[in-house]
Amino acid sequence: MSQSLQGFCGVLSPEQYAILREHGTERPYTSPLNDEKRTGTFACADCGQVLFESNAKYESGSGWPSFWQPVPGAVAITEDLSHGMVRTEVHCSNCNGHLGHVFPDGPKPTGLRYCINGLALTFTPEIG
């Protein structure tokens, strides 16, 4: 049985804790959510706030679930100077959990690619 750790709002696996609370990154192409094609919503794995809708998800080829737009007000961004580069970090606006990064190489209409760790998300399919 896997050990679990206390997150901001809930209990997280060690892997989820490393991403959401310690700014880690999962290996590319390891998340089942990368291939999720059903209609539904993607929420923060810690606090449950809905972050992205499936109609904003697309295949970026990056190896992580990618979205061109978050739910309004659901994410916040900060400058990330780690790893010797400047990137824009994306985190949950409710619990401040690290989700991934946003890059200016996405599709229209926003031109943005929200590159998100699958372990930082949960998926709820639309019923009906």
pLDDT digits (tens, 9 = 90+) for 8-31: 666 799 999 999 999 999 999 999
| pLDDT tens digits for range 29-76 | 999 999 999 999 999 999 999 999 999 999 999 999 999 999 999 999
pTM score of the predicted model:
0.90
Asked if 92 is an active-site residue, the reply is no
Question: Which residue range is the domain that position 30 belongs to?
Answer: 5-125
Other C-beta atoms closer than 10 Å to the C-beta of 26 total 19
What's the CATH code of the domain at 76?
2.170.150.20
The domain tally of the chain equals: 1
Tokens of 73: 């007000």
Annotated active-site residue in 44, 47, 92, 115: 115
Give the separation between CA 74 and CA 116, rounded to whole angstroms.
13
